[in-house]
Structure 1
Amino acid sequence: MIRLLIADDSALMRKLLEGIFTAEGDFDIRTARNGNEALELVRAFDPQVVTLDVQMPGMDGLTCLSRIMIEAPRPVVMISSLTAEGAEATLEAIELGAVDFIAKPGGAVSLEIDRLRPLLVEKVRAASGARIRRTLRLTERVRHQIRGAGLASRPRPSRVSPSPVAKIGKVGMKPGSATLPGLVLIGTSTGGPAALDIVLPQLPADFPWPILVAQHLPASFTGPFAKRLNRECDLDVVEVNRPMPLKPGTIYIGKGDADVMVAPRAAGVIAMPVPAKGSYLWHPSVERMVASALDHLEASHLVGVMMTGMGNDGAEAMKRLRLTGGRTIAEAESSAIVWGMPGELVKNGGAEAVRPLEDIAETIIEMVNSCAAN
């Protein structure tokens, strides 16, 4: 049995969520009406996973989460609204150590919750077995101390000392396409925002390739997420909310609830948002992004990176990338919050290198330098 604690100030939401997981037959469930009750039950019930509403009276979800991550770290899935305010709060929760989030249904909750049932169950099941990274807990302790002292500053992620980046000429395009030095393609899902927050700030300002990221998020979240990353990175970070030329020195975050694709134009190669395609389960789709890059760029000047996430999105396309001359990196099981997506890439033979999260930025730089030398 999976011990599950549901914390929500709405009696209706508690009842609906409890009903969903009770019907699964393998959940032992307790409920809490606010943050204080949730903390008491974390101590007494020792849940394997917690769902936590962001907005609760008294002790709100973020405060409760920070206490859980300091006192008794465990997988937490946030329940949040799709508003701009909800997006900011959810991204803050992920920085504090939450594994994932579920968008709170709008309108007729009792009808919408049924539509979300499969996703709710899948996310909570995945979270129950997720790995809580020690670095996230340590970062939160530091932040807690800073907030307690009344300071507003936020510690930047610790940096490695990566290898120098070589300058790369304009190569790697298929015949008839405009030139581009190369492209890094990153796919992430559950736990991805926290992983990207560690990897991307380690890339130096003179990094010579553009970086395109497919992170499974709703549309209202990717804009605020890009802005947060932009404050942390030496490279510029933007959301792909319209067709954009791919330029070195920029990280492009695919817009949520859509797919992001690579396409040639007379003036150069672009990244563009396209309507989500139903044949792909997750959006932005890693599989579709990598496949579009392979259609228009030489695989020998592509680096694919697969990090934490449940499922197998992108594993087949990244395997094809490697088999046709590209380079690939999969996050190691030892560091991944959920080793679904990178694990599938390793299992299908598509991972050239398997690296813990802290070493991924340096490995990207080494592979880019290798392309420059060839």
Structure 2
Amino acid sequence: MDVKKHIFFGGLNELRAIAAFAVIVHHIELFKKRDKFPSLLDSKYTSYFIEHLGKNGVHLFFVLSGFLITYLLLSEKQKSGYINLKKFYLRRIFRIWPLYYIIFLISFILIPVLAGSFALFSDASSYYNTVINRSDYGLRTVFLYALFLPNLALHEGRIIVGASQSWSVGVEEQFYIVWPLIVSFFNRKVTVIVFGAILIAFVMINFKFYNSILGTLATIIPFEYMAVGSLGGYFYSEYSDLITQYTKSKFIYVTVLLLIGFLIAAPVFKLYIQNLILGGLFLLLILTSINQSNPLPLRNKYLSFLGNISYGVYMYHPFVMFLLFPVFYKILAFYNNIFAFNIAIYICIPVLTVMISYLSFRYVEKKFIKIKDSKFKTL
């Protein structure tokens, strides 16, 4: 394997952007349905697609994380002979924690204050009723979110407006704890066996022990999608030339896109099986997207920019929805125009989310990223 100083895969930011905006679309339509407004979830033609669009976006993030983190860890071990665990964990802390705790403060302090201070927010009943339900804001909930266990909090039904989407960030953080230890303590051949064993174990648990404690744990931390990506990261690190040779095919890229499009639009298999198949297809999409010899994968500077701030887009959009939906409910009530309402929502929510995410990235996150890259970089 050829280890280079600066590892950058083109095409991944574009995939991050698509995944983040898939989650936004899902949440917008879910919000509308909960507040009894016409939603794409009500249509038999779009309900399956929209219902699972958010999870599909998150699963794409998971597979991508598994691929990239595994490749980088293996590259570091190949270069240095070991994994600097301290630097790895500090890199993740400086990248993930600042924005996570900003969202934590917004969700536990700012949103409840706004909801209690302005009658306007009561017009969005689904969010408002959740915010004023103080039972979800107890000490246990605060600790679960503060300790990066939002996935456990959500599993317990502790929904926090503005923060519940962070369940997937919790899963990512738990993944970051385990994976470098695996790569550090095992040689390369054993490492790939462990990744495969994790994937098989999670699949078996979901089929055989779904209603057990193990099944609950597997639901809370769906590591199988990271394992799929990690297998891809391992094989790409070992056989990059061979994989590059096959993934430069335009036919393979188009076939992968068509299969993904088909499986996210309609149920074909049992949901869990379909999600796993999609996970494998997401990996193939990643491998074809990073192939510079394939002219078809999406390369767009605007999407790349959005992918670069996609963490913020993913984390801030529920707060933006909390702010904007009541405003447009008032406008809709006055003008009674559902078409104008949807146009406004689908323009204003993404635009304001991108603006806030950019400002957050530039003036907050980037400061920590510079520290991460200057003090704790290993490749």
Instruction: Specify the TM-score bucket, using the shorter chain as the normaliser.
Output: under 0.3
Q: Which has the higher contact order (CA 8 A, sep 6+)?
A: 2
What is the TM-score with the length of structure 1 in the denominator?
A: 0.24
What is the TM-score with the length of structure 2 in the denominator?
A: 0.24
Structure with the larger strand share: 1
Structure with the larger helix share: 2
